[in-house]
Each structure stands twice: as structure tokens, then as C-alpha cells.
Structure 1
Amino acid sequence: MNKRKWLLFLVIAGLALLLWWLNKQHLQLAPKDVKNWVLQFGLLAPLVFLFLSLFRPFVLVPLTVFSLSAGLAFGSVLGTIYALVGATAGASGSFLLATTFRSKKKDTESSSRKLRAVTSRIQEHGFLYILLLRIAPIHFDFVSYAAAASRANYRAFTAATFLGLIPGTVALNVLGSSFVSGNYAALAIVCLIYLIFISVPLILKRKMPELF
């Protein structure tokens, strides 16, 4: 990695740490906080939400906070659309950034055992494995960085991320919007469907152990 890339990396890392510290010490963002702040921008609220979603991975704010806030702010339909687009954009940004600073030589000895296991399976199974990881309740940003480390195809990564996010995003947005509308019957149905979706990786773990 040349000096320019190192300098850019240090600047980004410094800004991320600063924003994370501000969030941890002063903001402590909750879904309601994000909703209230975004809606202050009126017609520009969706664009502001998408902009924040793009940089969310770099300040270590959990994805669930943004998914719930989308449902609170925009309702179950528009909230799901904005949350899906924003989460996919944020994942793509993490992937591209990690790809930029990725070492040209594989450093498996310094990598964690978990990272090595995930990257090797992404290299073998690509789209399918990324899709399963997105459906399963696994650390969202870790999967993005692991995919970059495994040199996954960008288009396959983006498509798998978008499709795999749909069940969880729908459930979280309905959860958020239900607190506003009081439609708990719809919430129960969607949560049941989501539980079925996240059971798929567990079933495949028995049927296709080589994936896991």
C-alpha cells in the first residue's frame, strides 16, 4: 500500500473513530432519534436518510437502528424501500473501501479464524453464500468486509446483499411503523414470515454442511 493510500486510510479511520465516539458519548442514537432528526428536513428527508445510511457502516451504528427508524419515519412501504436502498449502498461502500485498502497478498496468518472461514466459503460459493449470510442474523458489516477480503464479484455481492436484506428489512420496518399505526396483526404475520426465512440457513446447514 503506497503512502497516499495509507494517508487516506488514516484520515477515514480517524473520522470514523471520532464519529463513533461522538455517537457513543453524546448522541447514543436510537431509532426514534434518527426518525425525529431526519423528518426535520421535510421533503428532503428521504435523501438525508439515504445519505446517512451510506456512511452508517463507518461510524459503527447498528443497521437495525436505521431499519427501525425508516419504518417510524416513512411507514412500512416507503420505509422498506429506503432502508433497502440505504443498507445496500452502505454495504457497497464498505465493500469498495475494503477492496481499495486490501492487501494484494493474502495474509491468512494475521486474519482471524472466523474471517478465514467465511472468506474461503465466499470464494467457493459466491452469491449463494453471501445471500445466506445476509438472510441469517449475522453481523452485517463483517460480511461486507469478508466479501471484499475474499475478492468476491461486486455485482454478485450487491445483488445477494439486496435480496438477502429483504426479509429482515421488511420485518423491522413493519415493526417500526406498527408503533405508529398500532397494526400489531400485520407485525405478527411479518415476524412469522421472517422467522421462516432465517430458518433457511439453519436447514441448509444440515443439508449442505460444506457451506457452513
Structure 2
Amino acid sequence: MNKKNILRTVLFLGLFIALAWFVRSRFDVSADNIRSYILSFGAIGPLIFMGLYAIGPIVVFPTSVLSLAAAFAYGIWPGMLYIVIGATGAGITGYIMGRFFGDSVLKFHQSKWAGNIYERMQGQDFLYVFILRLIPLVGFDILSYLAGMTRVKFLSFVLATVIGMLPGTFAYSLVGTSLASGDRTLILIAFSVFTLLLVTTYLFRNKVRTWLKL
């Protein structure tokens, strides 16, 4: 690794640690507290939420907690819309990080598992990203980093991310809304939908792995 890459790595890690420390020290990261924090901003609360979501890959915010918080605060609609916009922002952040810092920092190619994705994603962009958003065998942020590193077309990446995460976003929104309402019937329906999504992912995981050659 040359001096330029060493400096880039140090700066990246320094920024990452500083932001993560700031967020963890200033905020109690739970769905209820995030909900209260967002609602305290009134009309600009959705913008605050989407901004927090968008910087998630940098400060290691648990996105599942953010999604539930949005559903707690805003319900299925417009909560789902805010989650989609925020998660897309997070995906773009990860994509830019992967594209800018690249393999000099992230070193994904050294992992055989990630290396397989790295190689194949270069030629299949939209479909590959879409399937792995729909059946999330790869972490959300990791997939974003890899997409940036492999120079997946930006528009293809964004569209695949938005479309692919809609089922999961709906499930999270429904669960969060049901918990906020306290309605047992709605809670049962929500968790049934969420369970169905998990079971579907489990049943198709091997077929997806084989098809994508993971």
C-alpha cells in the first residue's frame, strides 16, 4: 500500500470512528427514542429522519431500528415513503464510499465470498443488485460498497435498490405501525407478513445463491 492509500485509509477510519463515537455518545439508539427525537422537529422531522438514515453507512446506525422508528412516528404511509427515501440515501452513501475509497480501504476482494460477488456484479449490475435487495443474502451496506467498487451504473443501482427493497420496507412499516397502535389483530397480521417474508427468503436462498453463483 503506497503513502496515498495509507493516508486515505487513516482519514477514512478516523472519520468513521469519530462520527460513530459522536452518534453513540449523543443518542440512545432505540426505536422509541429515535421516534421522539424525530417528532420533536415537527414539520422537518421527516427530513431529519431521512438524513439520519442516509448517513447510516458512515455512523453504523442500525437501519432496522430506524425503519421501525419511522413506522412508529408516521405509520405505514407516509412512513414507508420516508424509509424508502432514507434507505436509498444510505445506499447511495455506501455506493459513493465504495467508489471513492474503493478496494484500497475496504479490501473486499480478499474474501472469496465477496470476491465472487465483486467479479459477477461487474457485468450484471441492475439484476444482481435487485435480486440481492429482494433476497438479502448480502448486508445492505456491503452490497452498496461493492456496487460502487465495481462501477455499477448509478441509475441502475438506485432503481434496483428502490424496487428490490419495497417488500421488506412494507413489512417493517407494517410491524412498526402495528406495535405503535397496540392493536392485537394488526400486530398478528404484521408479524405474519414479516414471517412470510423471512420464510420466503429462507426457502429461496439456495436457489438465489446458485443462480448468482455466490
- What is the TM-score of this pair, normalised by structure 1? 0.83
Does structure 1 residue 140 correspond to structure 2 residue 140? yes
Structure 1: segments with no counterpart, 5+ residues: none
In the alignment, what sits opposite 2:211?
A: 210
1:26-45 maps to which residues of 2 (within 5 A)? 27-45=27-45
In the alignment, what sits opposite 2:86?
A: 86
Does the CA contact (< 8 Å) of 1:167 and 1:194 recur in 2? Answer: no
In the alignment, what sits opposite 2:16?
A: 16
Distance 1:189 1:182 in 2: 12
| Deviation sequence 1:100-140 (CA, Å, 0-9, x none) | 22269xx88x6211210111232243212211211224311
Distance 1:191 1:121 in 2: 35
Does the CA contact (< 8 Å) of 1:171 and 1:187 recur in 2? Answer: no
Distance 2:209 2:139 in 1: 22
Does the CA contact (< 8 Å) of 1:170 and 1:190 recur in 2? Answer: no
Distance 2:182 2:9 in 1: 46
1:191-206 maps to which residues of 2 (within 5 A)? 191-197=191-197, 199=200, 202-203=203-204, 205-206=206-207
Distance 1:205 1:153 in 2: 27
Distance 2:53 2:2 in 1: 30
Q: What secondary structure is seen at the aligned counterpart in 2 of 1:76?
A: coil
Does structure 1 residue 164 correspond to structure 2 residue 159? no
Does structure 1 residue 180 correspond to structure 2 residue 204? no
CA-CA distance at 1:195 after TM superposition: 4.7
Distance 2:162 2:208 in 1: 25
Distance 1:186 1:205 in 2: 32
Seen in structure 2, the aligned counterparts of structure 1 residues 125 and 161 have a Cα distance that, compared at 3 Å, is same
Distance 1:127 1:183 in 2: 39
Does the CA contact (< 8 Å) of 2:96 and 2:145 recur in 1? Answer: no
Distance 1:101 1:60 in 2: 17
CA-CA distance at 1:12 after TM superposition: 4.7
**Bigger Cα displacement from structure 2, 87-96 vs 110-119:** 110-119
In the alignment, what sits opposite 2:72?
A: 72
Seen in structure 2, the aligned counterparts of structure 1 residues 163 and 176 have a Cα distance that, compared at 3 Å, is same
Does structure 1 residue 114 correspond to structure 2 residue 105? no
Seen in structure 2, the aligned counterparts of structure 1 residues 95 and 2 have a Cα distance that, compared at 3 Å, is farther
In the alignment, what sits opposite 2:129?
A: 130
Distance 1:94 1:165 in 2: 16
RMSD: 3.0
Does structure 1 residue 102 correspond to structure 2 residue 81? no
Seen in structure 2, the aligned counterparts of structure 1 residues 130 and 191 have a Cα distance that, compared at 3 Å, is farther
**What is the aligned length?**
209
**Bigger Cα displacement from structure 2, 164-173 vs 79-88:** 164-173
Does the CA contact (< 8 Å) of 1:135 and 1:197 recur in 2? Answer: no
Structure 2: segments with no counterpart, 5+ residues: none
Q: What secondary structure is seen at the aligned counterpart in 2 of 1:61?
A: coil
Distance 1:201 1:125 in 2: 23
